Amino acid sequence: MGRQYLLYVLLAAIFPTPSLLAQVHRFDQTRSSEQVEVSPPPVRRAEPPSADAAAADLEERGDTLRAEKSYLDALDYYRAALAKKPNSARLYNKIGINELQMARFTEARKDFERAIKMDRQFADAHNNLGVVYYLQKKYGAAIKRYEDAIKLRQDSGSFYSNLGAAYFSKKDYVRASVAYNQALQLDPDIFDRTSHTGVLAQMSSPGDRAHFYYVLAKLYAQSGVADRSLQYLRRAMEEGYKGIDDVYKDSEFAGLRKDPRFTELMASRPVAIPE
């Protein structure tokens, strides 16, 4: 059944006809939800780049395809654009992002390094190279690159958030809190707008995740954003944060402790959600 299922999935990806999609759905209904399936490899769906197209048009089409998660097609267009503009740091950076989204870390690192070599002041490329190192759990190298990016552009909340994630993964919670606080000052919505999936994936235990949520709760409390502080405080409790009673003595929560919702939350003591 496994080979037949994968065959139908692959055919449906290439020829998404109603009958093939229905067959895949029937197989899905009968398969155990506890099983993990490896997705079929990405396939090319777009027309090949035109040799006569301008570099700007090829780049724009690559952007569209990348947004649609058609990464192989996007690479074709970016590389076609690069052939016409071989010294474009911006194109190398976009190719690197595309490679990174396909988990091709070695290729992504080389592309970001090429972008930096062409433009030493390209803050985004320094930051993106840091992301590669972070995902490879090379936190020291990631911190160096994030700091390079911040030196070049100090108004990016994302750079500080990434720096905080690297410090947190190194269990340097003091520096992580400082970086996260700076990110929050620059962009008050950063932790709601951006995904922390990558950060959480690097954490080896529920205790690390719980601590992460507690740090965010503390930062929002310090900034006077009670709703978000209570939200992350609840998540910390649900993850079983062992130091939850520190909320009664940490000065950042002084204002929040006067909120009736805080009293209600602490009285309810949400049960830790099992793994």
* SS3 label, residue 12: helix
Decide: 2 and 36 in contact? Cβ < 8 Å.
no
CA–CA distance, 111 with 218 (Å, rounded to integer): 38
* SS3 label, residue 120: coil
**Pair of tokens at residue 182:** 């700076």
CA–CA distance, 245 with 45 (Å, rounded to integer): 55
Q: Note the Cα 105 to chain centre separation in Å.
A: 14
CA–CA distance, 177 with 167 (Å, rounded to integer): 9
Q: CA-based Rg of the chain, rounded to a whole angstrom?
A: 23
What torsion do the CA atoms of 45, 50, 56, 58 make, to the nearest 10 degrees?
20
Given the structure tokens 């020291």, which residue do they identify?
Answer: 140
Decide: 115 and 96 in contact? Cβ < 8 Å.
yes
CA–CA distance, 146 with 77 (Å, rounded to integer): 29
**Pair of tokens at residue 238:** 């649900």
CA–CA distance, 224 with 201 (Å, rounded to integer): 29
pLDDT digit string (tens) for the chain, length 275 residues = 455 555 444 544 444 555 544 554 555 555 545 555 555 556 678 799 999 999 999 999 999 999 999 999 999 999 999 999 999 999 999 999 999 999 999 999 999 999 999 999 999 999 999 999 999 999 999 999 999 999 999 999 999 999 999 999 998 999 999 999 999 999 988 887 654 555 555 555 667 888 989 999 999 999 999 999 999 999 999 989 999 999 999 999 999 999 999 999 999 887 766 55
